[in-house]
Structure 1
Amino acid sequence: MSTPAITVHRVGREAQPVVVIDGFAPDPDALRDVAIGATFGPATQHYPGIRAALPPSYLPSQLAVLADILGPMLGRSGAVDVIDASFSMVTTPPDQLEVRQRFPHCDAFGADRIALVHYLAPMGDGTAFFRHRSTGFETLDEERAPIFFGQLEAEIRYGGLPPARYVTGDTPLFERIFEVEARYNRALVYPSYLLHSGAIAPDAVLSSDPAFGRLTVTGFLSVG
């Protein structure tokens, strides 16, 4: 079994850590086979697609890899706990996106929360990170959130709604500051309060079949 290759990027003016791990799972083909045979259902929390349960063996084996990475990355020595994790696939056509799905977002405001994306499609779209132009925010915490959402509401009120599409690059309201390309068996780990979006191309295949769609594992973790 080969050792995963780890690259740490410091992103944007805030120099937040974004970690790329190539060769993340020891047997990605077997994991992909499980996903192809899994039963998917509608996702919650505004994820634009579907989700399915992971095999029981996935998290214990991968948490050992993540524990060695997340401690130094965040300067923490506590345990890594799983809040939620599943197979996930983006399936919502651009013209059916809710307004909030057309903007970069963050998943949590706490500094102890970590997001994981494990790419399991042979080809697919990656993940992009953004700066909100008018506030300069690249991350959102409890203090920044009311400022950000108030400003965004005003920008929508006076500038109109964004087009019905996934945000992949610069827009009038947001500047893309970094993008990670999707590669088979690559994992992406980053603080959940970073503004980000799946970089879903206009011509992306948004199939609900795991054999053809944008298959990933998405997880949300906490580090003590």
Structure 2
Amino acid sequence: MTIAIRMPPDVQSVQIGEQAVVFIDDFLTEPTEMVEAACQSQFSPCPGYEQGKGYPGLRATAPSEYSLRLVELLEPLIKINFQVPEQLDLNKSACEFSLTTVAPDRLGVMQRTPHFDSSSPYHMAVLLYLCGPEHGGTGFYRHKATGFQRITSENLQTYSDVYSDELHRAPPKPRYFDDSDDHFQFLGMMPARFNRLVVYPGSLLHSACINPGIGVCADPRRGRLTVNTFFDS
């Protein structure tokens, strides 16, 4: 298979709260090849699956050629759009296909609220949607009690203390998080769109907005198929 990025990429940015989220539509020239690759892949549960922690579903390694193409474009794009110092080297995680497969009533407590990936200032999440808008998108939030939208090394302890106390006092209902509740304010959503690439700081409070009627599915052709990658210095 041949993986190619459509050139030149149409890089767009949208402001959600106080933070920018970058996206590129029609990212790959032949995105259906990635779907076919996912269909041929061996998926397995994510770490923490049985304990109700982490990503609520299955993952499989994406094609190495996708990984190579991604690095060529994303390193300069991230440095330009997210004020990453030019001298810093960015390290990329493995590129993985992801499918949500956990039913809402089986979600762990922390899987029912917005989360952040890392408090590192240059940790970036890169998400390629290989599913359509019927699968929701990615929502971004502000924590009401602290006012934090982004979790940093400076505010991590404060946020963790307040968040843990909230979970203890009133565990969230067993559902995939989407709109505002007593503790988190919904700021906006990046809608899913087939072949849309989304880039945002992993320190932002966010959540996959999932339609459980169709999004909890292990079939790459019908489920909420994405490719997840992380960059950090």
Query: Is TM-score (shorter-chain normalized) higher than 0.5?
Result: yes
Give 1:202 deviation, angstroms: 4.1
1 CA distance for matches of 2:35 and 2:211? 22
After TM superposition, the structure 1 stretch with the greater mean CA deviation from structure 2, 47-56 or 18-27, is 18-27
2:22 aligns with 19
2:210 aligns with 200
What amino acid is aligned across from residue 63 of structure 1 in structure 2?
A: V
What's the TM-score, normalizing by structure 2? 0.89
- Write out aligned runs for 1:51-200 (5 A): 51-75=59-83, 76-77=85-86, 78-122=88-132, 123-158=134-169, 160-200=170-210
What's the TM-score, normalizing by structure 1? 0.92
1:40 aligns with 43
CA deviation profile, 1:193-223 (whole Å, cap 9, x unmatched): 0000001134333111111110000111124
1 CA distance for matches of 2:43 and 2:198? 22
Identity of matched residues, %: 32
What amino acid is aligned across from residue 8 of structure 2 in structure 1?
A: T
2:14 aligns with 9
Q: 3-state SS of the aligned residue for 2:226?
A: strand
Runs ≥4 residues deviating over 3 A: none
Give 1:2 deviation, angstroms: 4.8
CA separation of 1:205 and 1:191: change in aligned 2, threshold 3 A: closer
2 CA distance for matches of 1:106 and 1:142? 12
Q: 3-state SS of the aligned residue for 1:176?
A: strand
1 CA distance for matches of 2:55 and 2:226? 13
2 CA distance for matches of 1:71 and 1:177? 25
Gaps of 5+ in 1: none
Aligned length: 220
Gaps of 5+ in 2: 1-5, 49-53
After TM superposition, the structure 1 stretch with the greater mean CA deviation from structure 2, 20-29 or 202-211, is 202-211
